[in-house]
Amino acid sequence: MENKKNAIIIVNYKTPWHLNECLKSVFKNTSDFHLFLVHNEADKKSLSVSDKFKKLYPELITVKVNKLNLGLVAGVNSVFKEASAFPRVCFLNSDIIVTKNWLSELNRAMDNDSSIMQVAPDLNHYYKESLFWRIIKHKLIPKFPKIGNTIYKNYLNFNPPRSKEKNHEFQESTKFFQFCTGACNLVKIEPFLKRGYFWDPNIIHGYGDDFDTTFFLRQHGKVGVINTAYVFHFINASFNKLKREMTYAKEMLKFWNRMYVVNKWEKELKNEVSKLSLEEFIELSSTSGVLADFSLWLAIKQNYPNVKEWITTLPAKKYAGVLGIYPNGK
């Protein structure tokens, strides 16, 4: 492991089919890496998948099993010590399929510019999906998951929703409210060593972690994307495993996570917003979830002055418990 450039961290929660497809694509299309696979509240089928790949690639994969569902953030942080031994770390969702040379292209961008701290690949959900994709996703997969997911995956080989641009260079995200997708991104390890964890442990499960991580890394260098690396994301396979009747708790968990994040960066966000005209702010708020959240946070704080103290108690925790997520292992 000592001679590898990249650590890849995958957190899995009871998605054996997606995990199998993800790992097949990783070992087929990736070089110069060691994989840390974290099972949250492992199921037998997922363990069987990881056992298979562990036997095939014993030197390239480390498996960690958490007895409880710690959520995505705590799952990633649970291998911080081991993964931080590598100069670069890639965070990869278990419902991602990677393509040829994806990681080498991400590394190429960093190798060409030492100031780059984070780079993400081109990704299918940056683009409007065709009617065919939407029918499979919203009609076929909910009723016949295995059949729908298989068709969804195979169609990727013919017509993936991706960039048609020929630009092979790193495209810096210069707007303060832009961020790299949390589903797949490569980072340099140095900034994380100073704070002792990858993702803010006060963000319960996920949602808000991607903006928070990118905004943190902006303080240290450049962040952006490159379209010569491409991955396909099934989108929220783990979170969607939660029962549909828990929709309210899911939405509240996401809401309070986002409020926590904009509260955390309130001073810096105010400074950035002060550089915008009123017209720019209104226009951007209609398209940027971060700015919309920030505006809502300021309004809440104005009407409820004690919310700033209350948010540090993380009300999202109570919704995490309803959803069976135990970020503190309790």
**Tens digit of pLDDT for each residue in 197-221?**
999 999 999 889 999 999 999 999 9
Q: Among residues 222, 241, 260, which one ends one of the domains?
A: 241
Q: Are residues 17 and 166 in the same domain?
A: yes
Reported as a pLDDT band with limits 50, 70 and 90, residue 162 is confident
Q: Are residues 284 and 223 in the same domain?
A: no
Assess whether pLDDT exceeds 70 at residue 45: yes
Domain of residue 298, residue span: 244-322
Section 246-266 average pLDDT: 92
Q: Among residues 225, 241, 257, which one ends one of the domains?
A: 241
Q: Are residues 253 and 143 in the same domain?
A: no
Assess whether pLDDT exceeds 60 at residue 151: yes
- Looking at every residue in the chain, the average pLDDT score rounds to 89
87/124: higher pLDDT: 87
Least confident of 137-141, 205-209, 232-236: 137-141
Q: Are residues 191 and 103 in the same domain?
A: yes
Tens digits of per-residue pLDDT, 71-96?
Answer: 999 999 999 999 999 999 999 999 99
Section 133-144 average pLDDT: 72
Section 150-176 average pLDDT: 78
Q: Are residues 95 and 222 in the same domain?
A: yes
Q: Among residues 223, 241, 259, which one ends one of the domains?
A: 241
The CATH number assigned to the domain holding 201 equals 3.90.550.10
- Residue 159 pLDDT: 65
Q: Are residues 234 and 144 in the same domain?
A: yes
- Whole-prediction pTM: 0.91
Report if residue 47 sits inside a domain. Answer: yes
Q: Are residues 168 and 264 in the same domain?
A: no
Report if residue 329 sits inside a domain. Answer: no
- Residue 2 pLDDT: 58
Q: Are residues 144 and 190 in the same domain?
A: yes
3-state SS of the chain? CCCCCEEEEEEECCCHHHHHHHHHHHHHHCCCEEEEEEEECCCHHHHHHHHHHHHHCCCCEEEEEECCCCHHHHHHHCCHHHHCCCCEEEEECCCEEECCCHHHHHHHHHHHCCCEEEEEEEEHHHCCCCHHHHHHHHHHHHHCHHHHHHHHHHHCCCCCCCCCCCCCCCEECCCCCCCCCCCEEEEECHHHHHHCCCCCCCCCCCCCHHHHHHHHHHCCCEEEEEEEEEEEECCCCCHHHCCHHHHHHHHHHHHHHHHHHHHHCHHHHHHHHCCCCHHHHHHHHCCCHHHHHHHHHHHHHHHCCCHHHHHHHCCHHHHHHHCCCCCCCC
Report if residue 1 sits inside a domain. Answer: no
Reported as a pLDDT band with limits 50, 70 and 90, residue 235 is low
Report if residue 330 sits inside a domain. Answer: no
Total count of domains within the chain: 2
Report if residue 194 sits inside a domain. Answer: yes
